[in-house]
Amino acid sequence: MADSTATVAQPRAHDTREAVLFGGVYGAVLACSMVAALTQYGHTSAASRRYDAVWLVVTACASALAHGYAHYIAERAPHRRWDVLRTLADEWPLVVAVLPTVFLLAGAGWGWWPPKGVEYPAFVLNIVILFGLGIVTARWAARSWLATVLIGMVDAMLGVIVVVANALIK
């Protein structure tokens, strides 16, 4: 016989710090991968850079939706009516993390800077974002400054590995 006094489990709440860090890392790696994939065929016109910027936003939104929905389904707890929307909204940091790269691509598309070669500053920007996120997380964990810098460098290497892997795949 089932116990009628059992409490309903609430879905695991993801705190803001966790969401920002996860989304930031995911978004920076996604941006590196997407820029590498979108420039694979050598399209460097202003129009193609505007197209790349739009596709990066679309991909980030789709990734955020998929990730949020996966969280919602994976928790397998009874949910309230609007929990799915809250879970999806918690993925905003992923979309925000790609916006600097979107800005670089769109700026090249609008003629603010040359569209050819804009992927290199985009890669550097995302590697710097990964380094910065590594620094922030290490300091939050009360690591020494030496350990913090090393952790930031290791995190930045993730971006470098993505860039190199995509270059080799070409």
Non-local (6+) Cβ contacts of 105 within 8 A are 35, 49, 50, 52, 53, 56, 118, 122
CA atoms within 13 A on the CB side of 94: 22
Residue 81 belongs to what H/E stretch?
none
* Location of structure tokens 């710097």: 128
Question: Model's pTM, two decimal places?
Answer: 0.81
What confidence score (pLDDT) does residue 10 get?
53
The domains of the chain are located at 16-169
Q: DSSP for 105-157?
A: HHHHHTTSS-STTTHHHHHHHHHHHHHHHHHHHHHHTT--HHHHHHHHHHHHH
Output the pLDDT for position 79.
67
pLDDT in tens, the chain (170 residues): 555 444 544 555 556 777 788 888 889 988 988 888 877 777 788 898 999 999 999 999 999 988 888 877 777 666 676 777 777 778 888 999 999 999 999 999 999 999 998 988 999 999 999 999 999 989 988 899 999 999 999 989 987 887 777 667 76
The pair of three-digit structure tokens given for residue 81, joined into one six-digit string: 């009516």
Q: What is the distance between the alpha carbons of residues 26 and 60, in angstroms, rounded to a whole number?
A: 9
Q: CA–CA separation, 96 vs 23, rounded Å?
A: 8
pLDDT, residue 95, reads 92
Q: What is the pLDDT of residue 167?
A: 67
Residue closest to 37 by CA, chosen among 58, 54, 57, 52? 52
Helix (H, G, I), strand (E, B) or coil at 170: coil
Let me know: does 68 contact 87? Beta carbons within 8 Å: yes
130 by Cβ neighbours in 10 Å (0-12 / 13-18 / 19+) ranks as buried
